[in-house]
Amino acid sequence: MLLKDRVAIITGGAKGMGRGMASRFAEEGCKVAIADIDINEANNTVALVKQKGSDGLAIRCDVTDGKQVRNTVQKVVDNYMKIDILVNNAGAIAPHKPIEDITEEEWDRVLALNLKSHFLFCKYVVPYMKKAKYGKIIGISSIGGIQPPAHEIHYNTAKAGIIGFTYDLGRELAPLNITVNAILPGPIRTNFYERMTGTMSDEDKDKFFNEGLGKKVPMQRPGTPDDIAGAALFLASELSAYVTCETLCVTGGLPQLP
Contact 122, 86 (CB under 8 A): yes
- Which residue in 80, 128, 155, 167 is the catalytic one? 155
Using alpha carbons, list the distances in angstroms from residue 224 to 7, 65, 170, 209, 232.
Answer: 24, 30, 27, 11, 13
* 134 has catalytic annotation: no
Using alpha carbons, list the distances in angstroms from residue 56 to 14, 45, 133, 165.
Answer: 12, 9, 24, 28
d(CA 13, CA 165): 21
d(CA 201, CA 119): 41
Report residue 184: phi and psi, to 5°. Answer: -110, 95
Residues annotated catalytic, as ranges: 155
